[in-house]
Amino acid sequence: MAPEKPHYIAHRKRLRERFRRTNGSGLEEYELLELLLTYAIPRKDVKPLAKELLNRFGSITGVLDAQPRELEEQVGIGPTSSTLICLVRELCSSYFLGRVRHRDVLSSPQLVVNFARLKLSGLYHEAFMVIYLNVKNEVIDYEVLSEGTVDHVVVYPRRIAESALLNHAASLILVHNHPSGHTEPSEEDKELTRYVRDALKTLEIRVLDHIIVGKNGYFSFMENDLL
């Protein structure tokens, strides 16, 4: 007699068929993560592993924000699986960047926030990013100019100005992350924003917003009338 196939083989097939039939609608978070893991772990029931990851990191967002070394601390997750999970995050980031290009970012502020959070909110050190815009408020490019420690990053307004001129930017959006998760700006954040805004004003380059992102949300200087 032929050996009986492992039970998860048929389960995986049903899960994929459900996803294709509904485009993912109605699937639980653990089922979506389970389906993703099937492409990295071919010979194992990965449902328990998906649930363990969600329990450890709190949500799909937490799993995608996790760094490779953190993911690999979970028994059953190796380099192939962690790379796949991180790849999904970068694909999502590229998706939101593509959505925001060639359109007025002031009419689509949430897309900018989504992009910013995907790029920076999962980091465990502070990083400072600049999004360059043309005269129509469309994204030209973006650049991470500085990376620092867990609670501090050094930013040089002169470098921001030089990069803005090189990118022929008419305006820009400043973005940095707070690894603590709390997104309220510090007095130093406010002072830096004013300093950069005033320095760029002499070059006729506008600072449209300064967005602080964290795992628990974001803070917009523009939305809070701080610009």
* Residue from 28, 39, 45, 90 nearest 64 by CA: 90
- In this predicted structure, the answer to whether residue 4 has a pLDDT above a threshold of 60 is no
* Consecutive H or E run containing 123: none
This model's pTM is above 0.95: no
Looking at residue 66, its pLDDT comes to 87
CA 71 to chain centre: 16
Question: Helices 79-100 and 29-38, interaxial angle, to 10°?
Answer: 110
User: Is the distance from CB of 211 to CB of 112 less than 8 angstroms?
Assistant: yes
Burial 116-144 (b: 16+ CB within 10 A, else e): bbbbbbbbeebbbbbbbbeeebebbebbe
Reading phi first (left if > 0) and then psi (alpha if -120 to 50, else beta), residue 213 is in beta
**Chain-wide mean pLDDT for the chain?**
87
* Residue from 180, 176, 183, 178 nearest 210 by CA: 176
* Consecutive H or E run containing 227: none
- Which is more confident, 152 or 166? 166
User: Is the distance from CB of 175 to CB of 131 less than 8 angstroms?
Assistant: yes
Residue 76, helix vs strand vs coil: coil
User: Is the distance from CB of 122 to CB of 129 less than 8 angstroms?
Assistant: no
Segment 136-146 shows an average pLDDT of 88
Tens digits of residue pLDDT in 126-138: 888 999 999 999 9
- In this predicted structure, the answer to whether residue 17 has a pLDDT above a threshold of 70 is yes
Looking at residue 1, its pLDDT comes to 45
- In this predicted structure, the answer to whether residue 106 has a pLDDT above a threshold of 90 is no
Looking at residue 7, its pLDDT comes to 67
175: tokens are 């973005």
7-92: CATH topology is DNA polymerase; domain 1 (1.10.150)
Looking at residue 42, its pLDDT comes to 85
Segment 27-42 shows an average pLDDT of 93
Tens digits of residue pLDDT in 46-80: 999 999 999 999 999 889 988 899 999 998 999 99
Q: How many CB atoms lie within 10 A of CB 151?
A: 11
- Give the CA distances from residue 73 to residues 42, 56, 67, 201, in Å, rounded to whole numbers and listed in that order: 20, 11, 10, 48
Segment 73-89 shows an average pLDDT of 93
Looking at residue 211, its pLDDT comes to 94
- Which is more confident, 160 or 96? 160
Looking at residue 155, its pLDDT comes to 80
* Consecutive H or E run containing 144: strand 139-147
Looking at residue 2, its pLDDT comes to 43
Distance in angstroms (rounded) separating the CA atoms of residues 64 and 119: 11
Distance in angstroms (rounded) separating the CA atoms of residues 51 and 31: 9
Q: For residues 210, 215, 217 and 222, what is the CA-based torsion angle, rounded to 10 degrees?
A: 0
Q: For residues 104, 107, 111 and 117, what is the CA-based torsion angle, rounded to 10 degrees?
A: 100
- In this predicted structure, the answer to whether residue 35 has a pLDDT above a threshold of 80 is yes
104-220: CATH topology is Cytidine Deaminase; domain 2 (3.40.140)
Domain parsing of the chain, residue ranges: 7-92, 104-220
